[in-house]
Chain A
Amino acid sequence: MLAALMPSSASTQGATTDAIFFALLGLSAVILLLVLTLVVTFAIRYRRGSKADRGALPAIISRQFELGWTATTLFAFLFLFWWAGSSQLSALIPPKDALEVHVVAKQWMWKTQHANGAREINELHAPVGVPVRLVMTSQDVIHSFFIPAFRIKKDVLPGRYTDTWFEADKVGVYHLFCAEFCGTDHSRMLGRIVIMTPEDYAQWLTSQLEGDDLAREGAALFTARGCSGCHGPSSPVHAPKLVGLYGRAVPLSDGRTVMADEAYIRDSILLPHRDIVAGYDPIMPSFAGILSDGEIQSLIAYIRSLASSPERSVQPGTASSGSLVPGTPSERSPAMTPGNAVRRQPPGEFDGGKP
């Protein structure tokens, strides 16, 4: 019976969330029953004119009662906080071997892209039992990526990356909802999460339109868009080389140090004059309006593939956007012009075909 009142739970986080939920439900039920029982008992026993004893209470008792229940509530609440808070922290960092999927939201559609370049619209295929990390951004307004069965939700912001992750533990098809009100067709911004066995997933992935590997696509762009003219290994221009950059701390000319993560790389491409690497002149032109969002993602994938150590080095507390940088990431983030970006995008960019 209770099962019918619960959404199916199909992820490892789901179990934790449900456990906390049931603990809260139990505690609430106890408190509510206590209050209701007392109110009803008092209401009957001390109704007007009843014969019950009504002498005054000794002041001492009332003082003790008050302190007692204040302390008890405080203690119970702090315990809940500790439990909920600590389980949240442990779920913060995606495992190192997580599959990475890029998500771009726009009014009113979800676009997802796998590491090998396979793209989907309003769908996401993923293997069971494998952690999947989602790196998300929006092209217009704030959306929110919500998979009830996995108990995850994260806002998807324009001009900024947010990330979340899940590990599905049941094969099946699940709802994907947009949870942050985003305009006319908000309630139609739906998708399906298709969880498959690893074998089926591998087969599905290879049967997808032979998309270039995202990083290889980025490598091609790196030359085509002229980045390699300065950053290439044999370039005469005094510009930072990008091998090993990703995930490293970068000293800036103004004395700050930033973490070279997705947001930093993106900012360096679109707003190169914001953060100048120590020892270099601010000669790089901005690529804002020249590179599409998808192209930047490919470039980031390429630069990441150049990292000497393949490990991700996200610190707890930095999400994906490096809070070692003073100011919020979005203060540094240029991003696309909402609305325009959608139109500027090469046709077919995300329909699985090539631009």
Chain B
Amino acid sequence: MTTIAAPSGDLPVSSEPSYLSAGYTLGSWLGTSDHKRIAILYAISVTLFFFLGGIAVTIVRVELFTPEADVVTADTYNRLFTLHGVIMVWFFMIPSIPNIFGNFLLPLMIGAPDVAFPRLNLMSWYLNIGGASLTIYALIAGGVDTGWTFYTPFSTMFSNTHVLATAAGVFLAGFSSIATGVNFIATTHMLRAPGMTWFRLPLFVWAIYATSIVMVLATPVLAITLILIVAERWLGLPIFDPSRGGDPVLFQHLFWFYSHPAVYIMVLPAMGVVSEVITCFARRRVFGYTFMVYAMIGIAGIGFFVWGHHMFVAGMSPYAGLIFSFLSFVVAVPSAIKVFNWTATLYRGQISFDAPMLYALGFLGLFTIGGLTGLFLASIPVDVHVTDTYFVVAHFHYIMVGGTVSAFFAALHFWWPKITGRLYPETWARFAAILMFFGFNFTFFPQFIVGYLGMPRRYHVYPPEFQVYNVLSSAGAVILAAAYLMPLGYLAWSLVWGRRAGRNPWDATGLEWQTASPPPRENFPRTPHVDVGPYDYHPEGMSPAPYQPRHRGQGDQA
């Protein structure tokens, strides 16, 4: 990787209609096999789920404003945080970036007309929607009170709520994940444009590829685990029931064997997005591209062997605990490398602070905090104290919300002009980004403190000395909620009144910017040919040139 130059030759901008105008009927959307339209379908459903999960947690935070039970009953509270967790994890975090942006961009970025199996792709969406509907039905009609972790034997023998329907929904969504993963892997292997070698792939493609591998390998374990829950709860087979020789802790091993890698399903795509955005707005090619690739593969690989760090207090052998602790420290190294490399990418750049960049820089700070607190949890004596407290809640929100959701918004703003062909009002977007960062820290930083003070998670009522931190956290959540609502407004506005974006509003490299915005049905009028590596913002020996923002200057009519 020494020479990196721009993809040669400007491709002609097609005069074909865009994928959006390829048909206006509902059937033309629900029966589509166009990866871009499927991405839009996901975008709509996932946004819906995000706000549903958000509503649930709003009530949770209102309840936690005071130490007493004054808004909802204990059972309702338990159902609400379960609803929040189940929806956010399985129907927002896991599908969001891979299924929306991966779907939309993967073929564009590698110069392909579509994914390898377009119909399977549509089927994935239906599986996802089917699973989600089942789950949401169960969560709303009666609810589930097990938490998104479904720990046995509570979930199999004691909970008298809709565990089965919820598990079935998650099971279906798991198949959607597997199908998507297989599709993306096949696409990356088979459909790269001529000249698009592995080490010319954008980091986002690498991220989606690594994620897909994790999805395909890990998700079947989740499926098996859920089947075991059904087998015990419905058929009465003794699997987790200790009174009949079952093992109540077995479930946790199986569950985390899936769910820890799932954390990487959530965060690897985010890393891909951030790499694309930082390099574009710093006008430098990513520092240490090959290290970045290996770091992602390393994270995906080692991520399979650290599940036990969720179980340090569950009574496993202390020697096993030590091994899991060791591996957890090791898996943190590639993440640290990535943070350093992103920072180094800024060095000697031409940095501009458009909304996607603000989100990406926010990611950098919040992900660092989330990652560093992960080291606390990998240290057994500290973990013993803080596990199952709000410290953990804060830690995973820093990674998943501070990290992944920030990256989600970075991606949304970065590729919005490509997806819709319109520019959004930049000032509003920057304001929302800053507000989100502020509101996020306001909400979740106090939780580290109250966690170390000893407040357990999933508590409906709590000792009064914890109240001050909970009030701070609830107040922050109001700001955060407002910040999440703002993009809904200005992005919708931009659909109608936004300035036309043109092919490449950010002067970015990458094949997706070489075709029209929004792209035509076939993506490229003719198959592009690639003869250089990615991120040619900074040709050999030259200073990076700043880009001229269209949204502030003249509109560029495509």
Contact = CB atoms under 8 A, between A and B. Distances in A.
A59 B2 contact: yes
A32 interface: yes
A28 B382 contact: no
Interface in B423-472: 449, 452-454, 456-463
Interface of B: 2, 74-75, 78, 145-147, 151, 153-154, 157-159, 241-249, 282, 287-288, 291, 313-315, 317-319, 321-322, 325-326, 329-330, 332-333, 336-337, 339-341, 343-344, 346-353, 361, 364-365, 368-369, 372-373, 375-376, 378-382, 384-385, 387-389, 449, 452-454, 456-463, 538, 540-544, 546
Given A151-B381, A181-B154, 13 more contacts: A21-B382, A21-B385, A48-B352, A55-B543, A73-B332, A84-B325, A142-B151, A142-B153, A158-B243, A159-B248, A179-B388, A180-B388, A186-B459
A35 B452 contact: no
A6 B391 CA distance: 13
B350 A338 contact: no
Interface in A334-355: 334-339
A204 interface: no
B277 to A, nearest CB: 14
Report which residue of A49, A91, A151, A155 has the largest number of chain B beta carbons within 10 angstroms of its beta carbon. Answer: A155
A141 B332 CA distance: 33
A151 B385 contact: yes
A6 to B, nearest CB: 7
A160 B75 contact: no
A34 B453 CA distance: 27
A107 B352 CA distance: 57
A286 interface: no
A148 interface: yes
Nearest to B320: A317
B381 A87 contact: yes
A199 B376 CA distance: 39
Given A144-B388, A157-B242, A338-B242, A85 B336 contact: no
A144 B313 contact: yes
Nearest to B151: A142
A88 B350 contact: no
Given A56-B542, A84-B382, A181-B458, A46 B346 contact: yes
Given A142-B248, A180-B151, A32 B368 contact: yes
Nearest to B149: A181
A275 B449 CA distance: 49
Contacts of B2: 59
Contacts of B387: 153, 179
A268 B429 CA distance: 68
A151 B242 CA distance: 29
A24 interface: yes
B281 to A, nearest CB: 9
A207 interface: no
B388 to A, nearest CB: 4
Contacts of B158: 107, 140-141, 183, 338-339
Contacts of B146: 181
A152 B376 CA distance: 15
Contacts of B318: 88-89, 92, 316-317, 319
Nearest to A5: B449
Contact of B321 (A5, A57, A88): A88
A338 B241 contact: yes
Interface string A170-192: 00000101111111111110100
Task: Select the residue from B151, B382, B387, B452 with max chain A CB neighbours within 10 A.
Answer: B382
B340 A69 contact: yes
Interface residues on A, range: 35 or more
A227 interface: no
B78 A184 contact: yes
A62 interface: yes
B375 A24 contact: yes
B353 to A, nearest CB: 8
Contact of B157 (A28, A160, A338): A338
Contacts of B317: 317, 319, 323
B315 A17 contact: no
B199 to A, nearest CB: 16
Contact of B288 (A66, A107, A177): A66
A162 interface: yes
A243 interface: no
A54 B381 contact: no
Nearest to A92: B318
Contact of A46 (B75, B154, B326, B350): B350
Contacts of A183: 78, 145, 154, 158-159
Contacts of A162: 315
Given A39-B343, A152-B384, A154-B315, A73 B333 contact: yes
A151 B365 CA distance: 29
A330 interface: yes
22 contacts: A21-B376, A28-B373, A39-B361, A39-B365, A46-B348, A46-B349, A49-B350, A74-B330, A88-B321, A89-B318, A140-B158, A141-B151, A144-B313, A146-B388, A151-B384, A158-B248, A181-B146, A187-B458, A319-B317, A333-B245, A338-B157, A338-B242
B470 to A, nearest CB: 13
A36 interface: yes
Contacts of B248: 142, 157-160, 330
A89 B317 CA distance: 11
B319 A317 contact: yes
Contact of B247 (A24, A69, A331): A331
A200 to B, nearest CB: 25
A78 interface: yes
Contacts of A237: none
A185 B75 CA distance: 8
B336 A148 contact: no
B347 A42 contact: yes
A13 to B, nearest CB: 7
Contacts of B147: 181
Contacts of A316: 318
A47 B543 contact: no
B191 to A, nearest CB: 32
A43 interface: yes
Of all A-B residue pairs in the complex, the 9 with the closest CB atoms, nearest first, are A159-B242, A148-B454, A84-B379, A187-B459, A42-B346, A54-B543, A28-B372, A179-B388, A162-B315
A131 B145 CA distance: 38
A20 B381 CA distance: 8
Given A7-B452, A157-B242, A38 B343 contact: yes
A17 B381 contact: yes
B306 to A, nearest CB: 12
B396 to A, nearest CB: 15
